[in-house]
Each structure stands twice: as structure tokens, then as C-alpha cells.
Amino acid sequence: SAVISQKPSRDICQRGTSLTIQCQVDSQVTMMFWYRQQPGQSLTLIATANQGSEATYESGFVIDKFPISRPNLTFSTLTVSNMSPEDSSIYLCSVQGQGNTEAFFGQGTRLTVV
Amino acid sequence: QKEVEQNSGPLSVPEGAIASLNCTYSDRGSQSFFWYRQYSGKSPELIMSIYSNGDKEDGRFTAQLNKASQYVSLLIRDSQPSDSATYLCAVNKARDKLIFGTGTRLQVFP
């Protein structure tokens, strides 16, 4: 499986500010995804990061709030913009090969907004 | 109806027993099914994948899939306290994205 490095691992941020989370993979991957896991909850897909084009967002998530970049097949960023305490969560990067293959996760970023 | 449903638990089993975790899904077009284990404060870790009806065994773990009943399960034999975690069922839909259930918390007591 690919080695996925996600950073920062945690951060405490002031409301109204933005945080960019980076996800680096040690090999080229077809699919990259960003998930959110709120305390005590399961994983919710935010968006699919598409290489060279705009991300595909799930219902309830918008580009202005969660802009995503994917400049190449090994790297992606997720920005959480204009943060509020409700954005406090764990954010996870995930990679998959093409087709119905397994997904693997980065270590996650634990975000606390105060 | 949720797309992927799991009993949230906790499921408590004694050490050495078989733990049985269940998952149902709503989309008959689903093609791939996965079980992830998540320890508290950690990211999910893939433990089993299954793609066709029947059983698939890997060590102490057995995944079972019944597409007609839209049901997938995970059996853990000889449960150990180290198996205590949340187990997430995930289903692959069109366009390759995974949909996760809410997870079942398993507690194995000595």
C-alpha cells in the first residue's frame, strides 16, 4: 500500500482564520479523497480531489468553504476556510487505485477551532 | 434509510470468543465491500476486502458477503483485548468513492 503523509497532525486555530492541510503520497495514485470525522462519528466524504481540474464536492460541502488543490498525482491540499468551532473535527486524506480497490488513509489532522 | 448501516454497539465479547459484526447496504449496484478497524485517535486501517458472494478468510478474520440480502459481516475468531476498536463497514459505489457506515464499537474483555 502507498505511504501517505498528512500534515499538520493537529492544530488549534482561531475562528475566522483558515488552515491548509497537506497530503503527500509516495507513489502516483489515481484517486484522492478528503473525509471529515466529527467527534464520535463516522467518516463523511467532503470531496474527490481531481488532478488538473476542480474537485467534486459532496452534498453539503462547497468549494468556498473547503477549497481543494491537486496539482499532480501524489499531492493534494484541503483548506478549511473562515473556520468556526463547528469545523472542529478530524480531517483525513485517502487514496485509492482506479476501480473498486481498497482505500488507504493518512494519519489525519485533528483540528480544534477556538 | 442510510446507505450503509451498522449497529453502533458497543458489542462486548469475552476474550477467546467469536465477535460477529454486521452491515447492511441499500444500493444493489454496490460492487466492493471493506472492513476497516479504527483505534481511538487513529485513522482507519483496512483489514478485509470482499468482492463476491461467500466467505473470505484471513487469519482470525472472516468476511461474509450476501449480495441478495445486501448484507456483509465480519467474524473475528479468538477475540483478543487488542481487537477492541471501532469497526467500519465501507461500500464502493459508482465513481469509486467509498461510503462508510457509522461503525460498531467492539469491546473484548479479559
- Per residue in B11-48, pLDDT (tens digit) is 999 999 999 999 999 988 888 999 999 999 899 999 99
What whole-number distance in Å separates Cα of residue A32 and Cα of residue A51? 9
pLDDT over threshold 80, residue A98: no
**How many cross-chain Cβ pairs, A to B, lie less than 8 Å apart?**
49
Q: Which residue has the higher pLDDT, A101 or B65?
A: B65
Lowest mean pLDDT among A72-76, A101-105, B50-54: A101-105
Grid coordinates of B20: 460477529
Cβ-proximal residues to A88 (8 Å cutoff; 6+ apart), any chain = A38, A39, A111, A112, A113
Rounded to an integer, the average pLDDT of A13-19 is: 98
Q: Nearest CA to CA, how far is B68 from chain A (Å)? A: 19
Which one of A35, A102, A104, A107 would you mutate to disrupt binding with B, by most B Cβ within 10 Å of its Cβ?
A: A102
Rounded to an integer, the average pLDDT of A73-79 is: 96
Percent of chain B scoring above 90 in pLDDT: 81
Lowest mean pLDDT among A83-92, A96-105, B53-62, B86-95: A96-105
- Residue in chain A closest to B31 (alpha carbons) equals A100
- CB count in 10 Å sphere of residue A39: 7
Determine the pLDDT at residue B24: 97
Q: Nearest CA to CA, how far is A94 from chain B (Å)? A: 10
The shortest CB-CB distance from B88 to any of A42, A48, A98 is to: A42
Q: Measured between beta carbons, which residues in chain A are less than 8 angstroms from residue B97?
A: 33, 45, 48
pLDDT over threshold 70, residue A100: no
Q: Nearest CA to CA, how far is A17 from chain B (Å)? A: 25
Determine the pLDDT at residue A29: 87
What whole-number distance in Å separates Cα of residue A11 and Cα of residue B44? 20
pLDDT over threshold 80, residue A109: yes
Determine the pLDDT at residue A97: 74
- Residue in chain B closest to A31 (alpha carbons) equals B96
Distances (CA, A) of A60 to A82, A95, B14, B40, B62: 16, 22, 41, 26, 36
Chain A stretch 64-93, residues whose beta carbon is closer than 8 A to a beta carbon of chain B = 92
How far, in whole angstroms, is CA A71 from its chain's centroid? 14
pLDDT over threshold 90, residue B55: yes
Determine the pLDDT at residue B81: 96
Rounded to an integer, the average pLDDT of A23-35 is: 92
Determine the pLDDT at residue A111: 97
pLDDT over threshold 80, residue B3: yes
Whether residue A102 and residue B46 make contact (CB cut-off 8 A), yes or no, is: yes
